[in-house]
Amino acid sequence: MKPLAIATQSTGTLSVNQSQQSGKRSVRYETILLIIVAAVVVIIAIGSHGNFWSSSNLTSLFVNAAITAVPAIGMTMVIVMGGIDVSIGSVVGLTATVAGLAFEQNWPIALVVVLTLVTGAIAGLINAWFIASRKLPPIIVTLGTMSIWRAVVYALLGGNWISTIPMTLTTWFVLDKLWVIPWSFVLTVAIVLVAAYMLRRRPMGRHVYAIGSNEEAAGVLGLPTKRVKYMAYVFLGALTAIAALMTLGQSPLVQATTGSGFELDVIAAVVIGGTSILGGRGTVIGSLLGAILTQLISDGVILFQIQPFWNGVVTGAMIIIAVIMSLLNQRGAAHE
């Protein structure tokens, strides 16, 4: 048997074994997280005297969760692979600005959607080129592009706001519902299921876990590490553009600060969802639950009329606890 064939077989075995081991630990974590989400729902529902179940509150909760969860899907892949992207808040601002300017020129909405997705994908492609092809640290690259894209937004807007956003986006992402669930959240769940299948059942997804576990070994065994990195960052950029369109549907206004701080919400959802910040472990279903949990906390702060800063305190504490649990799980796995 040729050496390449042997390496390929070894790669497949390595990827499958890592994926199966990671999957078992992730299912346990997701079960715990689901129980926590259910408990938080009960607490808020009782404490808010029924206001939690109002149509407007549920709509806001689902839409906000969708806006966070969609890019969290791509961020999960990137972090599992051992990377990071802190530029997505600026990418939201950039893609929303591009969409807003196109709407000002009366472009057809379908063409604007395509333009927005392409813009997000290009932003991800630029990050991938520096990270995968030039071997620069992801945190440094994305910190740089975060500043660049925000500067581009300021230059394009020139200190003005864009408010000519068509009602169609609001109808799509907020008003149209499947029973009481906005279609934006239904779309999010669909993307999560497809991404979960790709990560667990397809070779490219298993390669993501293998690269995150040991990139050097993955390269020696013949995995297409560069191609996988390009895929992950471009996918994240496109999903961030979808989140920008959802944001415009929820709040039809583009300004220079649109998307500021958004990256923190997404990374928090991913980490709380059980993805290891060190790479090699995590699931998109966990990230969806993490996004729901962070939005439930924000919702509870509003309904209970608590000082807003407590939202940041609780979320920050949850991130620290999630990271500690992740490290303990990895140490336990190392001794298995």
Mean pLDDT, residues 6-14 taken together: 46
Q: How confident is the model at residue 157 (pLDDT cuts 50, 70, 90)?
A: very high
Buried b (16+ CB within 10 A) or exposed e, 214-247: bbeebeebebebeebbbbbbbbbbbbbbbbbbbb
Give 120 or 27, the one with higher predicted confidence. 120
Predicted TM-score (pTM) of this structure = 0.92
pLDDT at res. 21: 55
Q: 3-331 sits in which CATH class?
A: mainly alpha
Evaluate if residue 76 carries a pLDDT over 70.
yes
pLDDT at res. 310: 86
Average pLDDT over all residues of the chain: 91
Evaluate if residue 316 carries a pLDDT over 80.
yes
Mean pLDDT, residues 72-83 taken together: 97
pLDDT at res. 324: 85
Give 320 or 259, the one with higher predicted confidence. 259
Q: How confident is the model at residue 322 (pLDDT cuts 50, 70, 90)?
A: confident
Annotated domain spans of the chain: 3-331
